[in-house]
Structures are given as C-alpha cells and as structure tokens.
Chains A and B, each alone.
Chain A
Amino acid sequence: MSESNGSVRIGVYVCHCGFNIASVIDVEAAARSALALPGVVVAREYKYMCSEPGQTLIEQDIREHKLNRIVVAACSPLLHEETFRGAAERAGINRFYVQMVNVREHGAWVHEDREAATIKAIDLIRAAVHRVRFHKSLTPKRVPINPQVMVVGAGIAGIHAAITIANSGKKVFLVEREPTIGGNMARYDKTFPTLDCAACILTPKMNAVRSHPNITLWTYSEVAEVEGYVGNYKVKVRRKPRYIKEDLCVGCLHCVDACVFKDPKFPDTFNMGMDKRKPIYLPFAQATPKVVVIDPEACIQLKTGKCKQACAAACERGGVSFDMTETIEEIEVGSIIVATGFQPFDAAKAPEYGYGIYPNVYTSMEIERLVNASGPTGGEVVMRDGTRPKSIGVIYCVGSRDERHNRWCSRVCCMTALKLSHLLKEHTQAEIYNFYIDMRAAGKGYEEFYQRILNERVHFIRGKVAEVCDWALDKSEEGKLVMRVEDTLTGFVRRVPVDMVVLAVGLEPRSDAQEVRRIMNMSCSTEGFFLEKHPKLAPAPTYTDGVFIAGCCQGPKDIPDTVMQAGYAAAEAMALADIGHFEIEPNTAEVIAEDCSGCKSCVGLCPYHAITFNEVKHKAEINPVLCKGCGVCVSSCPSGSIRQDLFEDEEIYGEIEGLLATLPAAPQPVATA
C-alpha cells in the first residue's frame, strides 16, 4: 500500500458514545464535514463505536471500500486505541494506520457551548485526517523476557510469592536484608482471628523456602542497583559479610556460648530491644537459614583486631571467618517483586502516651514478644520494673488517623489490640481496659472475634486517651499510670489508673522506603507507601513494567490480604515468564547514525536514561525498550538526526496544517506604486 498521496483511502468514524459526546457535539455535522476532506472515502457516525457492531462497521468498510487509513473520533486513546487497532488488523490492514481523536475528554466533557465544541471537534478531526495520510506500516518490537524472578524482602509476602513462583518451575532469587527470613510475622505470638501461633504457621513456609530447589536464598543481602527494563533486569545484590561460612554452620551455637562476652550486652532487635544478645548470635531459634551472624559494630575482633576468638576455637567445623568481605552478586531477572514490609509507628513521637518516659508503657510489637513463650521473659508478663500488672490499658489508633502523624487508618491494629487483650488476660488475669475510637473488624471471622473478646470480661471504653501520666490525684492512684479519657459511651470523663499501658501503634512505610523505591524505579503515594498501578484493579503491578509490589510496603494490611497480594504479584511475574516476550509500542525514537554529529545534547535530556553514547562510533544510541516516546530528544537534536515512529515530522506538520486549514490565508502584501 502506498504510504501517502494518491491512493490514500480514509474512513472517518464519529462516535456518539451514547449521550457522552452527542449531548454536546453535533456528531452528524462532524461526520459530514469529514466527507469534504481530501482522501476521505467514508464518514459515519454511530452510537457506540467500541461495541461489536461498531467495530464490525469499520471492518466491513475496510473490505468493501478498500480503506487503508482509519480515523476514529471518540473517547481517550487510553481506553480504546487498542480496540480500534484490533479491528483494523482483523480487516487486514496494519494496526498503526489508525488514528484516534479525543472528542470526549477533550471535547464534550469539558465544554458547554455546543457550537464551539462542534467546531473544535471538526478541527481536530480534520487535523487527524491530514496526519493519518502519513502514517506508516509498523511492527511492534518483541523483547524476550528472562523467566527468572527476584523477590526482595522475605517476610510472609516475599516467602509466599517465592514459593508460588518456584513451584511453577521457575527460578527465584529471594533477597532479604536481615540475617534470617520471616519478617515481622516471625515476631508475633498468636494471629487473629484464629489465634494460630504465628511461628507454627510460618516456619513450614520458611522451611519450604530453604529446601526448594528453585529458590536461591540470599539473606543478609540487599539490592544495590537495578538496571534495565521489563524482562531484562540486571541487578547487583550486595551480600553483607556474616563472618560465618554459611555452608559450614549447622546452628549448634557453641560459638555463641564460647564468646568472650560472658553476658549479652547488645540490644536484641528481634525482641524489640527488650533483651540482649552477644556480638555473635542467632536471631531467633527458628531462624532460616540456621546460621549465626557476627555484628561488626559489637564484635571486639572486628572492631579492634584484639580478641582471643573463642568462637572460632569452639567451632568444630571451622565456620568462623573474620576476613570475609562484602561481595556483589550480579544476576539477570525478568521481573522483580518488592515485598519489603512496614515499620511500626515510633510511639516516642506521641509523648502524651508516656512511651520512653514511663518504663511500663509498651508498644503492641513489644507485647507480642513479651507474651511469646520464646520471648525475653519466656512468655511471663513481667514489666520493665520487675512487677506483674494487675491492670492494663490498651490505647488504639496510636499514630494513626492523626493529622499530626499518619493520616491513614492502619487497618490491623484494632484486631491486634483485641488479640493482645485476650492474650494478656489469659496470661495475667488483669483488668484490661481497651480505649478505642471505632472498632474496625472487617475481615472474615473478625467481628466474631470481637464478640468473643467482648464476652471475656474485658473493658471497652470508647474514647481516645488524652494523656497517660503518673501524677496521682489521691492515694488510689499512687504508683500507677493514670489514663484520662472521655468515655463517650457512658458520657463520663474518667481517670483510669493502670499498671501497664499498651499502645496499638500503626503501620507506616519503612524509613528507607524512598531509597529502596528509587533503586527499583517505582513511585510512592503521598503517605510514602509504594504506588500501585491502579488502587482497585491493579494493586500489585506498578507503573514500571516488570516490577510488582506485595504486602505492607504497598499499604497496611493483614496476613490473609498480604498472602493474596503476594499471589497476585507472583501470577503477574509468572505470566510474563510464561509468555516469554513483551511487545513494545512502536512510538520510540531512533538516531539516524549517518546524521548524528556526536554532540551528546540528547544524552542527558532523556528522563528514562534510554540514550547512551557509543564512544567508539561517536554516535548516540537509543534503547527502544527503555524509550517511552516522549519526544524530547527528537525536538532537541540540533542536527535533526533523531526520528520517532508515529511522530514523524510529516505526521506532525500534517496535523498542524489540518488544524490551521480554516484560517484565512495570509494577506498579500500591497504592491507599492
């Protein structure tokens, strides 16, 4: 088919879009106007162009009238460009001979003046008709997809995604920055609403990760750099030195016993700092891999070089190795799933609740460890001052639903607080007071769980505690923490003295979330959680093709939803791996090497880092897969040696000429006498 002039046969279709377009634009007049344009053979208007009959209209006209260009004036191309291209292709012409005109979002939906809107639509259609003459037949490029997947973060989300993908036969690299997998879930005691022991349901999955032939587990490692594009990511993973040979350690812990520190001195972060560990340690009993690690900030040998290295002597397998260094592994994967999780709100930011001021104020995470049989007190609820509480106050919404801290509701804390009330009641028989604003129990079995706790002689006071303070109004309050609150249900302002206060802190993005997302080339929302492609229909994909998110790094959620989202992300990654290739829209720019003068003006301008400079050839080169077709380089090139598919100069000039065609011709200069 000839590209332009002469045998161009254009079909123009103006859509009513029901009432959406037709109520403002005179679609019949628009269609009629098109008939007068050069090259237009057929011009129609129809109620719903995107429907089956609408598309059939196009296909029939192409065959009957031998059309070779199509213009559809309808909604935004974001919605139906694919639809009409598909129709054209089915009728036998190249799909890129279709040009859409947006007369809905740019026309009927933003204007009220019928006449003016119709004239505008007519102008835009004319511009498209002039443009489409110059469209070329194009073929989308196919990019192969590497079937390997990298999962970043090995909490329950990362673990589940990794196992799912590995089970389908594909290889997974699971990268986790802590020395063990398990994430926050490994810390919990029991989970709501079933009161399943968190470790009991998690450890089988952790074992599955460890033993799966398709999973390469790199703990104590971080993603340092990600380059490339969907299907072809080149990742550098920094593996931090454990100073222990992973393949030799069997987790016998003789080295820990032998360590020159007779008593542990360093805060144990797994137990939320409520316990101490030695410089050489196993994070917790079920740590996976079961390999100890040496903390370089705490170890005498690593800090000063002067230690008798009792740990090395105690290891029968020679597993201790102080001269290990950081290594960088380079891998190639087709897609990445980011499941880096959350951090709890720092309760010290809300001093009115006394956290960090009074010793017996705890966060919910700390209570998880306190009631846990493998926690710092062996599951005995003994407070920091050594006493056992006879009364406990639990405050909800700490740091959440708060303009001064985090605006959002953290979704899981109501249920967590209910669960902790139950566990604390079980362990201590204390009087437990819950202070809440709204009880959010929207999951399966959650409302029933609330009913269960309501009937366990636990107090429920609807009111947010204004202050936790230790000053006593009378003898009965001395030595206690007094919570002043308005009990909005009974209508009284109350002072409730308790021995222990538990703060149900909210969930927020991790403090280094912004650095992580830049490495992965992702966006985030105003709250700082990683941004999904669509909050309702695509909560796991991101705007970066091939990068998916799962779990609380995308927003606060409970374990069932985390697992579901991880499965969704895994399915997307598997779909990419299975289809094996990826088609890119042929709207990319290309450097015409003969014309390129090597000035490098374009290289720094590209927002997608798609342009590199070939020092050998002294020419700029554009990677068509990274190129998003923004056109900046094309317009900036001083020698005009960059061209772009679908945005050729003649196509753009044609569009402009079409737009300006109604303006009167420039006045002729008056001849001087």
Chain B
Amino acid sequence: MKRHIKYQVDAQADWGAMVGEQPGCERLFSCIQCGTCSGTCPVSIYMDLSPRRIMALVREGFRDDALASKTIWLCASCYSCSVACPQKISVTDVMYALKREALSKGILPKDLAIPVLAQEFCSMVSKTGRNSEFWLVLRVALRTNPFALFTMLPVAWNLMRTGRLPLGREAIVRKWELPARAAAKGVR
C-alpha cells in the first residue's frame, strides 16, 4: 500500500517566494485558505486539487504536486476567483505562473490535450504572428487523439458551409518584429 506522507525534503523552500515574484502573483502569501476561489470556479468540480489547495501547496513549496496537477490546465482564465478573493490575490496569474513552469519543466499530465494546445498555439504564433484556427485544431488533434477529428466533423462542416472556416495559413508581413526574431537580433 502506498504511503502518503510528506517529509520536509519534499518541499522546495524558496519556491513559493519565487512564484510570488512573478507579475500579478505578489499577494499569494496573504491567502487565508477561505476557499472562495474554489467555490466560484466553474471547473473546480473537475479538478484533482482545488485552486485553494494549489495555493496551499505553493506556500509550502510542494512544487511537483502543484505542477503535475490537472488543475492548472483546467483553469479557463475566467478570473472569477481573482475577483472573488477577499485578499485580492490574482489566482489566475498564479495559475499562469504554474502553467509556464510546468511547460518549461515538461511536467504534464498524461492524456490531456490542453498543454498540447498551448504548445502548438505558441509555436504557430511565435513563427507567423497569427493563429490559423483550422490548422491549430488539426495539429492538436493529430498529436493527442486523431479520432477526435471524427467527432468534430459536424462542427467543421457547419463552420465551412457558413464561411467561418478559412483554410489558409495566416501570417503577418513584418515577421522580423516578432519577439522571438527580435530577440535573436537585438540585445536582451
């Protein structure tokens, strides 16, 4: 049987403070664990760890547990939590910070299409400056669950017949101004 106990070595001492330094996250140590965020979150009922628990994990430095959760990916950035929080913590910005760290460390829950969407979206936009909805959905589906494409056929058909699904690849003209390209040239 698995033992569920946390030793102090499992906690990363300064990690919470590091998260707190990111823009928007500065008030996270004021959390009084009231649970209003979870209460107002529309998708908390699908989460493995409620937003409140994530805040507690961040404060205590249990980084891997927080980053590996489905919670951060389920966040739809609706900002209900941030507006409802009595301590004015921007919970949404904390979720963003955790998503970024999870992506950069490659700690991603299995079989969840959302991080894949994030990766494909960013890859597309950083190269071309625009996102082509058709190609984005196609790429994500192919990487995660090609069979999902079949379930999307009715939607795709409806979009196409009403002229709402352009098939071209969008791009801006002055691609050299995009952050990724400008960085290569300039000093940052």
Contact = CB atoms under 8 A, between A and B. Distances in A.
Interface of A: 352, 397, 401-404, 437-438, 462-467, 484-488, 491, 493
B32 A437 contact: yes
Interface string B102-123: 0000000000000000000000
A500 B185 CA distance: 65
Given A466-B38, A467-B84, 18 more contacts: A397-B34, A401-B32, A402-B86, A437-B34, A437-B35, A463-B36, A464-B36, A464-B86, A484-B40, A485-B39, A486-B37, A486-B39, A486-B52, A487-B35, A488-B33, A488-B50, A493-B44, A493-B50
A352 B40 CA distance: 10
B39 A466 contact: yes
18 contacts: A352-B84, A401-B32, A437-B33, A437-B35, A463-B38, A463-B39, A464-B35, A464-B86, A465-B36, A466-B39, A486-B35, A486-B38, A486-B44, A488-B33, A488-B35, A488-B50, A493-B39, A493-B50
Contacts of A465: 36, 39
Contact of A464 (B39, B80, B88): B39
B87 interface: yes
B27 to A, nearest CB: 8
B39 A403 contact: no
A484 B80 CA distance: 13
B155 interface: no
Contacts of B88: 403-404
B167 interface: no
Contacts of A404: 86, 88
A487 B44 CA distance: 12
A486 B91 CA distance: 15
Contacts of A438: 32
Interface string B77-93: 00010001011100000
B45 interface: yes
Contacts of B41: 493
Interface residues of B, number: 20
A14 B121 CA distance: 73
Given A401-B86, A403-B87, A463-B39, A493 B34 contact: no
6 closest A-B pairs by CB: A466-B39, A486-B38, A466-B40, A486-B35, A464-B34, A463-B35
A466 B84 contact: yes
A467 B39 contact: yes
B52 A488 contact: yes
A351 to B, nearest CB: 12
Nearest to B88: A403
Contacts of B80: 466
A437 B32 CA distance: 8
B89 to A, nearest CB: 9
Interface string B18-42: 0000000000001011111111110
Residue from A463, A465, A466 whose CB has the most chain B CB atoms within 10 Å? A466
Contacts of B40: 466-467, 484
B39 A484 contact: yes
A493 B45 contact: yes
A464 B35 CA distance: 6
Nearest to A483: B39
A438 B33 CA distance: 9
Interface string B155-167: 0000000000000
Given A404-B88, A485-B39, A463 B45 contact: no
Contacts of A437: 32-35
A438 B45 CA distance: 23
Contact of B86 (A403, A484, A487): A403
Nearest to A436: B34
A582 B99 CA distance: 68
Contact of B38 (A401, A403, A493): A493
Contacts of A402: 86-87
A463 B84 contact: no
Contacts of B34: 397, 401, 437, 463-464
B111 to A, nearest CB: 23
Contacts of B87: 402-403
A491 B39 CA distance: 11
Interface in B37-57: 37-41, 44-45, 50, 52
A440 B174 CA distance: 61
Contacts of A352: 84
Contacts of B38: 463, 466, 486, 488, 493
Nearest to A487: B35
Residue from A401, A463, A465 whose CB has the most chain B CB atoms within 10 Å? A463
Residue from A438, A463, A486 whose CB has the most chain B CB atoms within 10 Å? A486
Nearest to A352: B84
B77 to A, nearest CB: 17
B92 to A, nearest CB: 15
